[in-house]
Structure 1
Amino acid sequence: MSCNSQKIRALRGQIPAFACVPGCHDCCGPVTASSEEMARLPVKSDAEHEAALAELNCVHLGANGCEVYNERPLICRLFGTTPRMPCPNGRRPDEWVEPHIEAGVHRLIATTRQVLV
């Protein structure tokens, strides 16, 4: 397992979960993810990517929400768990993510090659 994969796994385990509003997909715009994170996701065609981008959606957003929710990238997991990335519906975990965990996610994003999801 690569060093980045270990960091991703550790960070994923430290980001609190919370219940989203059913049917909401406000956080499901195009995002970037590292190659390690992309390796966990199904491969989509160029046409699927272009169609999602034209709607400013994530390519993994389906009719019933995120199709890769359990494997979603760190930036998706962070949304709604920090006051700097609040849920527009006011949903949040009981406790905000620890600031050092949020900083760790942003540091990993800044130091790894990112590709558009």
Structure 2
Amino acid sequence: MSCNSRKIEYLRQRIPSFECVPGCHDCCGPVTTSSEEMSRLPVKSDAEHEAALAELNCVHLGPNGCQVYDERPLICRLFGTTPRLPCPNGRRPEEMIELRIEQQIHHLIATTRQVLV
């Protein structure tokens, strides 16, 4: 396991979770993620990527929501857990993410090669 993979796993465990509005995908759009996180996701064709991008959706968004929810990237996990990325429906965890952890996530994102999901 690479150093970044260990960091990702550490950070994932520290992001609080909460229940989204059933059927909502307001936070789901094209995002970038690290190569390590991308390697956990199913490979999609260029046509699938282009179709999703044309709709400003994530390529892993299906009719019932996120198809890779358990492996979704850090940036997706942050939505709704910090005032800087609020849930458009006002949902949130009981306790928001610690600022220190959020900063570590943003630092990892800024210092790793990012690719479009």
TM range (shorter): over 0.9
AA matched with 1:10: Y
1:10 corresponds to: 10
Stretches (4+) displaced over 2 A:
none
- The letter for the 1-side match of 2:91 is R
Q: CA deviation at 1:106?
A: 0.3
CA–CA distance in structure 2, aligned partners of residues 25 and 69 of structure 1: 12
Unaligned stretches of 5+ residues in structure 2: none
**Which amino acid in structure 1 is aligned with residue 38 of structure 2?**
M
Say yes or no: does 1:78 pair with 2:62. Answer: no
Count of residue pairs the alignment pairs up: 117
- How far off is 1:95 after superposition? 0.3
Counterpart CA distance in 2 for 1:115 and 1:27 is: 18
Q: Deviations over 1:29-59 (max 9, x none)?
A: 0000000000100000000000000000000
Where 1:33 maps in the other structure, the secondary structure is strand
Q: Give yes or no for the alignment of 1:115 onto 2:103.
A: no
Fraction of identical pairs, as percent: 81
Q: Which runs of 5+ in 1 are unaligned?
A: none
Q: CA deviation at 1:76?
A: 0.2
- Give the aligned partner of residue 100 of structure 2: 100
Match for 1:68: what amino acid? V
The Cα RMSD (Å) is 0.3
| 2:63 paired residue number | 63
